[in-house]
Amino acid sequence: MIEDAVVHVVDDDDALRESLLALLRANKIRCEGYPSAEDFLDRAVWDHPGCVVVDLRMNGMGGEALIRLLARDGDPPPTIVLTGHGTIENAVSTVRDGAIDFLQKPAPNDRMLEAIERGVTLDVERFKRRRAMAELRQRIATLTPRERGILDEMLTGKTSPEIARVLGLQPKSVQVYRSRVLQKMAFATTVEMVRHLLLASAQEWAAPGRAGQSG
């Protein structure tokens, strides 16, 4: 099991939620419980890889609606459906909407743990992507407006004299700004920085709207 993964359990049945949390804690898995989908959307923090275990039929927003909402963002966390009302139609539609597994209550412990492990493993890559992107975004946030302008021009592949001409600056000061940008963004070379940023922005483009969530 991934050391610091967090499992988010969304179920409006208190006994069931608490018992699942107890099982996870006994297996030394970090976990967090939410009594409703709305509460999960409010409180869930994604500073670790993890997965979501969600009940289908709940008061307020149901599990299916939650899965669809998460899927809208293109890069959703792995979700395991746990239900007492399992039908084939339910299973098919939730899996199509992005759930990675569909378990009937009461699910045997090993089946449950297996599904969670799979979910967490799946989330590691995603989490790395998100963390890298978040870091980049944080670093970009430390740039001054002038440095941000220089960075934008660097991304279009312009040389220092070209940037100086476009922005009306001395080529020398452009040089200074460029090295300060590289330093703040923590990259050794311009090529490396541009490659990372373009990759990240491609992902950002593929997954619009998730920008605020990961941290």
**Binding stretches for another protein (CB under 8 A):** 13, 15-16, 18-20, 22-23, 25-27, 84-85, 104-109, 112
Residue closer to another protein, measured from CB, 21 or 154 = 21
Task: State the minimum distance, in angstroms, from the CB of residue 112 to another protein.
Answer: 8
Task: State the minimum distance, in angstroms, from the CB of residue 154 to another protein.
Answer: 54
Task: State the minimum distance, in angstroms, from the CB of residue 90 to another protein.
Answer: 13
Residue closer to another protein, measured from CB, 62 or 98 = 62
- For 145: left if phi > 0, alpha if psi spans -120 to 50, otherwise beta; the answer is alpha
State the Cα–Cα distance between residues 149 and 137, nearest whole angstrom: 15
Residues 6+ apart with CB under 8 A from 33: 9, 10, 11, 17, 18, 20, 21
Number of C-alpha atoms within 13 angstroms, CB side, residue 129?
18
Residue closer to another protein, measured from CB, 25 or 43 = 25
Residue closer to another protein, measured from CB, 74 or 86 = 86
Nearest to 40 by CA among 82, 74, 11, 71: 11
State the Cα–Cα distance between residues 104 and 95, nearest whole angstrom: 14
Task: State the minimum distance, in angstroms, from the CB of residue 82 to another protein.
Answer: 8
Beta sheet of 50-55, edge-to-edge order: 30-34, 6-10, 50-55, 79-83, 99-104
Task: State the minimum distance, in angstroms, from the CB of residue 27 to another protein.
Answer: 6
How far is C-alpha 44 from the chain's CA centre? 11
- End-to-end Cα distance, the chain: 22
Residue closer to another protein, measured from CB, 109 or 156 = 109
Alpha-carbon dihedral 168, 170, 174, 180, rounded to 10 degrees: -120
Task: State the minimum distance, in angstroms, from the CB of residue 89 to another protein.
Answer: 12
Residue closer to another protein, measured from CB, 19 or 93 = 19
